[in-house]
Amino acid sequence: MVSPYLLREIRTLLEASLDVFGTNRQYHEIILDYFDALRLPVLITDTRRADLGPNIMFANEAFAAMCAYPRDELVGGPVKRLQGPDTDLTESGTFRRRLEDRGSAEMSIINYRKTGEPYRVRVLGSKLSSRVPQARSFRIAFALEEHL
């Protein structure tokens, strides 16, 4: 299991990056390169598209490998792409509400790889706090694959 302290530190690093560098893309690339170097699957979403649910803004290589989607197919698409017939939508909804109300949430849910194969994943999500207005709708999630 990954330490909650490590997850908090990673979230803080991203928040500080947003606050310090604002919308400067060059500096954001440095932070995203850091996330790519992690073996822990990381997903950053934007909640502004309420009609389709959260939109994937970034998925690191570890996340893409876990769900067997190429990154270019993940980024820009809805998180719902990972759901399937055995995904508990009630649990997913509870997770989103807790995330909004409490700032962080955790769930264990069945998602689906691009191949259609189900897998269980523990998701630890957190809102990002930032002085950058567009970043206030960003959410970061860490995913840990579990045994089915």
Whether the predicted pLDDT of 75 surpasses 60: yes
- CA distances to 3, 4, 85 from 53, rounded to whole Å, are 28, 26, 17
**C-beta of residue 58 within 8 angstroms of C-beta of residue 33:** no
Q: Tens of pLDDT along 90-140?
A: 999 999 899 889 988 999 999 999 999 999 999 988 887 666 666 667 787
* Structural domain of 116: 4-146
pLDDT > 70: what percent of the chain?
74
Reported as a pLDDT band with limits 50, 70 and 90, residue 1 is very low
86: CATH: 3.30.450.20
Rounded Cα distance, 115 and 142, in Å: 22
Indicate the SS3 state at residue 48: coil
What domain count does the chain have? 1
Say what the pLDDT of residue 63 is.
Answer: 95
Rounded Cα distance, 132 and 110, in Å: 33
Reported as a pLDDT band with limits 50, 70 and 90, residue 24 is low
Rounded Cα distance, 108 and 146, in Å: 8
Q: Enumerate the H helices of the chain as residue ranges.
A: 4-21, 25-37, 61-67, 71-74, 89-102
Rounded Cα distance, 114 and 120, in Å: 14
Query: Nearest 10 degrees: CA dihedral of 52, 58, 64, 69?
Result: 40
Say what the pLDDT of residue 19 is.
Answer: 59
